[in-house]
Amino acid sequence: GNSVTQMEGPVTLSEEAFLTINCTYTATGYPSLFWYVQYPGEGLQLLLKATKADDKGSNKGFEATYRKETTSFHLEKGSVQVSDSAVYFCALTLSGGYNKLIFGAGTRLAVHP
């Protein structure tokens, strides 16, 4: 079936460290891919998205590239800040269908000074 797999957390980093959160997917057709972020006490927010192969989504210093050959959409940031501490969710929607988001389990990121 259609699914998203993320690396398990928590991920603990020092400020200014490089971040990678791995995400791979299984889906029929040509899905669109998303990263959502959930800050403590807040709702899920769209961080970035990519709708076709080789597209790169970017926002707030975060990037992810849609790799169809490896069915991956890894999230990266060159220099994390304490304010980036949150839970990050990788998700997809299926092509030809409606806007149903299928989420991974989430990865908690903790950045310390």
From the CB of 16, what's the least distance to other proteins, in Å? 29
Contacting range for other proteins; rule: CB under 8 A; set: 10-18, 66-74, 76-84, 91-99: 91-99
- Taking the complex as a whole, how short is the minimal distance between the CB of residue 89 and other proteins, in angstroms? 5
100 binds other proteins per the rule CB under 8 A: yes
| Cα pseudo-dihedral 10, 13, 17, 18, rounded to 10 | -10
H or E stretch at 59 = strand 56-59
Q: Is the separation of the CB atoms in 105 and 6 below 8 Å? A: yes
Shortest approach of other proteins to residue 49 CB, angstroms?
Answer: 7
- Our finding on whether 21 is near other proteins (CB under 8 A) is no
Q: Does 105 bind other proteins (CB under 8 A)?
A: yes
Place of tokens 């990263």: 35
| CA atoms of 58 and 49, how far apart (whole Å) | 8
In the complex, the smallest distance separating the C-beta of residue 103 from other proteins, rounded to whole angstroms, is: 3
Q: Which lies closer to other proteins via its Cβ, residue 5 or residue 71?
A: 5
The token pair that represents 73 in the structure block: 């959409």
Residues 36-55 that bind other proteins (CB under 8 A): 36, 41-46, 49, 51
Q: HSE (CB half, 13 Å, CA atoms) of 107?
A: 23
